[in-house]
């Protein structure tokens, strides 16, 4: 019962059988962005029935001829780091050749259009001379076992989707049935071989490990083997020179063993003695082995050597709580390495926890910085979603069929029932909700709604059961939405987004929408809940009142609670518009049209989205940027047709608070729903905004002072 996942999903699902494929969702879970392109996972096979392998690949694509974790016999615990692209529905697929228990931990992700690129896993070296054991293109195939104390060159650039100008590659390297104990070292061809190892093995084992390695002469990597062995190399990703991840010649940062040759790159953390049972060692990484002092993460190879008993190692930033996850799993008295993508603490350290007394080796192979610009850093500080939200997600639409005989307090058994099918609701959402997000994102985020079927509820089930069933059945979709069919829900036309929360992190799981919203054509309700799935908060007024902005889908719709918001000509289209800040939070507004006011007297020209001028002015409270005022131009047209007039709107945003309880009083300060025109002026906690001029759809503002906090009555 102590073996639990981060959010409760995929707990205790049972051993995976021989020759089976298991799909599991990664997007939107455990701090993974809802639009992540790829994920870095630590995958562990636990006590398999016999020899075999695991292959991870994007769901929706044919399983590749490649392996991610290899195990040579029963009763083993074998782990490996895997970089894999995310497939259909935000899922990764796992193929199991021989029955085993499996644990999968997340170490990081590649954001949408990130600089670390993934390729479909492909084999680029296969030394075994066995029929069916091939490489992706027939090169470096069946070349025979490598000799002891030898180097093998493997061309990678220009093969398997890796471009000629790639700077480094992410590879999985496996030693297969070596003649005796030894190790493999992977390094750039043309460089001096480092005194480190990537794969450590004993005689007759099958041992894999992953590595990010810089390409050497002619785009090749070299592999040194101490002992004669077969070798398999699969490639799963690459980085171009512009990437923020830099590769290094491997350097040893920790060597607990004492003795001749057991050294580190600089003599620090050398011969410090075996790590004790249930102990934590704080290791300096930044400033050593080529890692700069301002590095924010490092690529490490961590090896457990001759542990006293079975156990595991967990690597984590020292200024964060130790996670319930593992990076290296060992059976005891063996040598087990694994690659680790390690976030560093603010002082450049990483902590190494081990459950059993063992020697530990740590080599560094690369590092990186997040390097956000000032505007990007502000975006991350003011919203929970640290990655941009882009793409064409698939939203599965379910209809929950509520029985007419019901004892649930959520439903009225005497009421009629909506007759809309899931297909009809999906088609209507594509007609009214998809164009809204298309317009707000300027084509960057365009959801597609598809019919997912019906869910039959029992007489005691309520709206939470409708949502829970939608989540359980919705793994084939990027986001599931469940509508019930009762058109007079006691809570009105409300929606509900399920949020998984653990360790201070929250991520959307699914959406429930009442049947009354459907009956009243309130499609803004669905848009509102999808906004929460994008981490948009309720649009507070400047006194902190939730739902205070009546011109935002995340607030109240102005004067049209029960009127249609179906088309841009409707009187209530304000129900399907939103603040510029929400578009900024999702990465839909380019940095070039965002300005940050810190202090002093400044003049800004700010315009509508299609004006070509600056679109958003942000005045944060201080460098922590936990609170800010957002200033934008809104023009009375399209989705903003319900505005009283054209002008400038000022709104309070708070990125650090979670949603407050519903307030009993409405917004009553002068800024609420106020549109500023030429000649208007407003003073907001130390900040003065004067609207001085208008040209077409742009307004000129003089802004003075420093914003010091939210407005309160």
Q: Is residue 606 within 8 Å of residue 648, measured between CB atoms?
A: yes
Checking if the pLDDT of 660 tops 60, the result is no
In this predicted model, which residue has the larger pLDDT, 674 or 529?
529
CA angle 334, 336, 342 (to 5 degrees): 150
Q: pLDDT, tens digit, for every residue of 181-199?
A: 888 999 999 998 887 778 8
User: Tell me: the pLDDT tens digits for 139-160?
Assistant: 999 999 999 999 999 999 999 9
User: With b meaning 16 or more CB within 10 Å and e meaning fewer, what string describes 261-289?
Assistant: eeebbeeebbebebbeeeeebebbbbebb
Distance CA 384, CA 501 (A): 13
Q: Dihedral, CA atoms, 680, 684, 688, 691, nearest 10 degrees? A: -30
Total count of residues recorded for the chain: 713
What is the rounded average pLDDT of the residues 646-662? Answer: 67
Under the banding of pLDDT at 50, 70 and 90, the label for residue 544 is low
pLDDT at 397: 97
pLDDT score for 501: 47
pLDDT band (50, 70, 90) for residue 284: very high
Question: Residue 38: what pLDDT?
Answer: 82
> pLDDT per residue over 209-221, tens digit each?
888 788 998 899 9
Of the pLDDT bands very low, low, confident and very high (cuts 50, 70, 90), residue 575 is: low
Q: With pLDDT > 90 as the criterion, what percentage of the chain qualifies?
A: 37
Per-residue pLDDT averaged across 410-427, rounded? 91
Mean pLDDT of 568-587: 69
How high does pLDDT run on average in the chain? Answer: 84
Task: Give the model's pLDDT for residue 655.
Answer: 62
The number of angstroms, rounded, from the C-alpha of 221 to the middle of its chain's C-alpha atoms is 30
> Which of 8-17, 81-90, 271-280, 591-600 shows the lowest mean pLDDT across its residues?
81-90
pLDDT of residue 99: 94
- Between 14-23, 78-87, 433-442, 447-456, the lowest mean confidence (pLDDT) is in 78-87
Query: Please, which pLDDT band fits residue 616 given cuts at 50, 70 and 90?
Result: very high
Sheet containing strand 297-305, edge to edge, reads 245-255, 359-368, 297-305, 335-343
Average of per-residue pLDDT across 89-112: 85
Tens digit of pLDDT for each residue in 461-508?
Answer: 999 899 989 988 888 888 899 999 998 766 666 777 776 544 444 456
């Amino acid at each position: 019962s102590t073996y639990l996942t981060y959010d409760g999903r995929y707990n205790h699902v049972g051993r995976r059988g021989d020759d089976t494929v298991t799909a599991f969702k990664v997007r939107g879970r455990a701090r993974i962005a809802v639009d992540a392109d790829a994920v870095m996972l630590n995958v562990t096979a636990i006590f398999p029935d016999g020899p075999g392998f695991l292959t991870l690949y994007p769901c929706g694509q044919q399983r590749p001829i490649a392996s991610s974790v290899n195990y040579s016999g029963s009763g083993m615990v074998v782990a490996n780091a895997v970089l894999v692209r995310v497939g259909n529905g935000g899922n990764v697929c796992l193929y199991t050749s021989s029955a085993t228990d499996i644990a999968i931990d997340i170490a990081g992700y590649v954001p949408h259009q990130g600089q670390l690129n993934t390729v479909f896993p492909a084999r680029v070296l296969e030394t075994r001379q066995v029929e069916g054991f091939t490489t992706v293109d027939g090169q470096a195939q069946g070349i025979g076992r490598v000799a002891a104390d030898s180097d093998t060159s493997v061309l990678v650039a220009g093969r398997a989707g890796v471009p000629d100008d790639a700077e480094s590659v992410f590879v999985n390297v496996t030693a297969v049935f070596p003649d005796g104990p030894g190790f493999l070292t992977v390094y750039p061809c043309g460089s001096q071989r480092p005194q480190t190892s990537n794969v450590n093995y004993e005689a007759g084992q099958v041992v894999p490990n992953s590595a990010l390695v810089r390409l050497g002469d002619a785009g090749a990597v070299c592999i040194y083997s101490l002992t004669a062995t077969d070798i398999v190399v699969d490639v799963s990703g690459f980085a171009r020179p512009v990437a923020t991840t830099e590769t290094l010649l491997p350097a040893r940062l920790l060597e607990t063993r004492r003795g001749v040759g057991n050294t580190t790159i600089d003599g620090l953390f050398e011969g410090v003695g075996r790590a004790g049972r249930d102990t934590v060692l704080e290791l300096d990484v930044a400033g050593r082995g080529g890692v700069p002092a301002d590095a924010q993460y490092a690529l490490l190879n961590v090896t457990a050597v001759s542990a006293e008993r079975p156990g595991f190692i967990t690597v984590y930033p020292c200024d964060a709580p130790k996670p319930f996850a593992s990076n290296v799993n060992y059976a005891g008295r063996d040598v087990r390495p694994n690659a680790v993508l390690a976030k560093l603490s603010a002082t450049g350290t990483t902590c190494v926890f081990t459950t059993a007394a063992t020697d530990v080796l740590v080599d560094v192979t690369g590092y990186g910085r997040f390097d956000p610009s000032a505007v990007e850093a502000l975006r991350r500080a003011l919203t929970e979603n640290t990655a941009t939200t882009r793409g064409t997600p698939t939203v599965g639409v379910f209809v929950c069929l509520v029985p007419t005989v019901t004892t649930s307090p959520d439903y009225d058994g005497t009421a009629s029932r909506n007759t809309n099918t899931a297909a009809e609701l999906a088609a209507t959402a594509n007609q009214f909700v998809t164009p809204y997000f298309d317009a707000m994102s300027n084509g960057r985020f365009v959801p597609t709604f598809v019919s997912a079927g019906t869910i039959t509820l029992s007489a005691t089930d309520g709206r939470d059961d409708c949502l829970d069933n939608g989540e359980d059945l919705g793994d084939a979709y990027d986001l599931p939405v469940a509508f019930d069919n009762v058109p007079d829900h006691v809570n009105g036309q409300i929606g509900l987004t399920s949020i998984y929360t653990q360790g201070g992190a929250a991520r959307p799981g699914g959406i429930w929408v009442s049947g009354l919203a459907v009956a009243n054509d309130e499609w803004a309700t669905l848009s509102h809940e999808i906004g929460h799935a994008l981490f948009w908060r309720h649009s507070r007024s400047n006194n902190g009142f939730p739902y205070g902005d009546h011109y935002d889908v995340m607030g109240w719709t102005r004067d049209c609670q029960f009127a249609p918001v179906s088309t841009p000509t409707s009187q209530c289209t304000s129900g399907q518009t939103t603040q510029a800040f929400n578009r900024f939070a999702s990465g839909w507004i380019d940095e070039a049209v965002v300005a940050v006011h810190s202090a002093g007297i400044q003049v800004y020209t700010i315009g509508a989205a299609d004006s070509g001028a600056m679109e958003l002015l942000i005045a944060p409270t201080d460098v922590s940027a936990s609170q800010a005022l957002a200033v934008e131009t809104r023009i009375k047209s399209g989705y903003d047709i319900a505005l009283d007039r054209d002008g400038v709107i000022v709104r309070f945003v708070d990125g650090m608070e979670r949603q407050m309880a519903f307030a009993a009083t409405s917004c009553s300060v002068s800024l609420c729903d106020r549109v500023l025109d030429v000649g208007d002026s407003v003073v907001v906690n130390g900040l003065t905004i004067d609207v001085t001029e208008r040209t077409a759809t742009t307004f000129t503002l003089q802004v003075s002072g420093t914003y010091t906090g939210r407005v309160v009555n």
